[in-house]
A and B are shown apart, each in its own frame.
Chain A
Amino acid sequence: MKPDLAEKPAGAVGEEPSTAQRGVRRRRTGAGPFGIERLGRLSMVLLMVLLAVPFVFPTWWMITSSLKSTSEILRIPPTLWPAAPSVEPYRQVFELQPFAQQYFNSVYIAVLVTVGTIAVAALAGYAFARIRFPGANVLFVLVLTGLLVPSEVTIVPLFKMVNALGLIDTHWPLIVIPILGAPSVLATFIMRQFFVTLPGELEEAGRMDGLSRFGIFARIAFPLSRSAVAAVAIFIFLKSWNLYLEPIVYLSSKSNFTLPQALTQYVDAYGGPIWNVQLAATTLTVIPVLIVFIAAQRQFIQGLANTGLKG
Chain B
Amino acid sequence: MSAAKESGHDRFVADQLPQPRPADADHLGWLESEAIHILREVAGQCRNPALLFSGGKDSLVLLRLAEKAFRPGAFPFPLLHIDTGHNFPEVIAFRDHRAAELGERLIVRSVEDSIAEGRVVLRDATESRNRHQSVTLLDAIAEFGFDACIGGARRDEEKSRAKERIFSFRDTFGQWDPKNQRPELWSLFNARVGPGEHVRVFPISNWTELDIWQYIARERLAVPSIYLAHTRPVVRRGSALVCVTPLTPPRDGDVVEQISVRFRTVGDITCTAPVASDAASIEAIIAETAMTTITERGATRLDDQTSDASMELRKKEGYF
Instruction: Decide whether A and B assemble into one complex.
Output: no
Residues of B within 8 A of A (CB): none
Residues of A within 8 A of B (CB): none
